[in-house]
Amino acid sequence: MKDIELAKEMLEKSALTLVIVKAEKVIFSSKDKGIKPMYTVIATMKEKLDGASVADRVIGRAAAMLCKYGNIKELHTKIVSEGAVEVLENSNILFKYEEKFPYIKNRDKTDMCPVEKLSQDTDNPALLLKRIQNFLENIKNENK
């Protein structure tokens, strides 16, 4: 079975939000929502991602930038934003999606996702990673 097919199957059957497969082995999976799983995998094991296949439920511009930065080979997502498609089209990533929207919405569907906003004015993945790190730390501190 191809890596991308295995990743897609795991995403569906195990109710996961992100599955990363390389050489027919799952190297990362998560049930966490939002950017946190993608951020975590890039921050902790970027070097292992080169040539991997990703299945994710939602890919916005920020997640697409992180996939490009991680040298992901293939991507399948249920929902993608127009900004993400633009990033992916300017990469070597083979990608498929089920639905495309102008942008990813925040959790209460009243505005653009805050992480999608963080990615709007930069193409620099190192800067984006720092912004996401600060964003996640702020959420953690608010929930204390």
Q: What is the CATH number of the domain that holds 16?
A: 3.40.140.30
- What pLDDT does residue 114 have? 95
Report the predicted TM-score, pTM, of the whole model to 2 decimal places: 0.95
Q: How many domains does the chain have?
A: 1
pLDDT 10s digits, 27-72: 999 999 999 999 999 999 999 999 999 999 999 999 999 999 999 9
- What is the rounded distance in angstroms from the CA atom of residue 49 to the CA atom of residue 8? 17
Query: Which structural domain range is residue 32 located in?
Result: 3-142
